[in-house]
């Protein structure tokens, strides 16, 4: 289900109670959607596989923690632009060990840190697509965690992570041998290409966006 920006907390709560077989919900830019509505969705719709709450500015850790505990079959989760989120949300997602989660966007979630990414990666080991654009507190320590726990990563957006270094990217590239797309736009400390020697059966990184690295 795709909702428009005028959906209300009350409306979403009622909808989730009556449509408990929902598998897809997109609530992007819905300013009225808050933690109460997200908690109702998590409680009533455990079969959700695809959830997008991009730029729903009223959502905080409370709502995401609820989703992590209630919607354990999630495959796609877009939390882009939720500036109230902290590591508490990532810890909850990791603790729930979302084995089906393949796509996660945390773009512009400015409150998360390396520690949160470490906890997330340790529990969500099947991630394939991860967007960390403009998560300004992240450094190469976060890349080390992804390298350790998420070997199936295929695409990674690291734009505007100014603390990343060549050493961190080397660690990631060597461990995540299925990577085919990396965005390093405005990663000003990353200078070298990161395409280590691969076996003939391993995919080759076909897209590296590195504007003004």
Other Cβ atoms within 10 Å of 110 Cβ, number? 15
pLDDT tens readout for residues 117-152: 999 999 999 999 999 999 999 999 999 999 999 999
Averaging pLDDT over each range in 89-93, 167-171, 207-211, which range is the top one? 89-93
With respect to residue 4, please indicate whether it lies within any of the assigned structural domains: no
Q: Rounded to whole angstroms, how far apart are CA atoms 122 and 97?
A: 8
- In a 3-state reduction of DSSP, which class is residue 126? coil
- Burial profile 29-53: b = 16 or more Cβ within 10 angstroms, e = fewer: ebebbbbbbbbbbbbbbeebbbbbb
With respect to residue 38, please indicate whether it lies within any of the assigned structural domains: yes
Instruction: Specify the pTM.
Output: 0.90
Match 């990414």 to its residue by tokens: 117
With respect to residue 2, please indicate whether it lies within any of the assigned structural domains: no
Other Cβ atoms within 10 Å of 86 Cβ, number? 16
Which of 142, 105, 96 has the alpha carbon at shortest distance from 26?
Answer: 105
CATH number at residue 58: 3.80.10.10
Structure tokens at 174: 């060597």
What is the Cβ-side half-sphere exposure of residue 47, based on CA atoms within 13 angstroms? 8
Tallying the residues shown for the chain, one arrives at 213
Q: Rounded to whole angstroms, how far apart are CA atoms 56 and 34?
A: 8
205: containing domain: 9-209
With respect to residue 155, please indicate whether it lies within any of the assigned structural domains: yes
With respect to residue 3, please indicate whether it lies within any of the assigned structural domains: no
pLDDT tens readout for residues 23-62: 999 999 998 899 999 999 999 999 999 999 999 999 999 9
- pLDDT band, very low/low/confident/very high, at 202 (cuts 50, 70, 90): very low
With respect to residue 1, please indicate whether it lies within any of the assigned structural domains: no
With respect to residue 100, please indicate whether it lies within any of the assigned structural domains: yes
CB 95 within 8 A of CB 123: yes
Q: Rounded to whole angstroms, how far apart are CA atoms 72 and 47?
A: 8
How many domains is the chain built from? 1
Q: Residue 31's pLDDT is what?
A: 86
With respect to residue 193, please indicate whether it lies within any of the assigned structural domains: yes
Judge whether residue 110 has pLDDT over 90.
Answer: yes
């Amino acid at each position: 289900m795709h909702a428009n920006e005028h959906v209300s907390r009350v409306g979403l709560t009622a909808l989730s109670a009556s449509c408990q077989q929902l598998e897809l919900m997109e609530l992007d830019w819905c300013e009225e959607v808050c933690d109460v509505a997200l908690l109702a969705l998590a409680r009533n719709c455990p079969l959700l596989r695809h959830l997008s709450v991009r730029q729903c500015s009223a959502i905080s850790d409370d709502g995401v923690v609820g989703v992590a505990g209630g919607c354990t079959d999630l495959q796609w989760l877009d939390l882009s632009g939720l500036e109230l989120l902290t590591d508490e949300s990532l810890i909850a997602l990791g603790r729930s060990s979302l084995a089906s989660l393949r796509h996660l966007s945390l773009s512009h979630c400015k409150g998360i840190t390396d520690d949160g990414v470490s906890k997330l990666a340790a529990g969500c080991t099947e991630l394939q697509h991860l967007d960390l654009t403009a998560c300004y507190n992240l450094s190469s320590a976060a890349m080390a965690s992804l390298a350790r726990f998420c070997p199936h990563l295929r695409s990674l957006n690291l734009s505007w992570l100014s603390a990343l270094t060549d050493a961190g990217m080397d660690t990631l590239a060597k461990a995540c041998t299925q990577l085919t797309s990396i965005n390093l736009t405005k990663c000003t400390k990353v200078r070298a290409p990161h395409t280590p020697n691969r076996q003939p059966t391993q995919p080759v990184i076909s897209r590296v966006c590195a504007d003004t690295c």
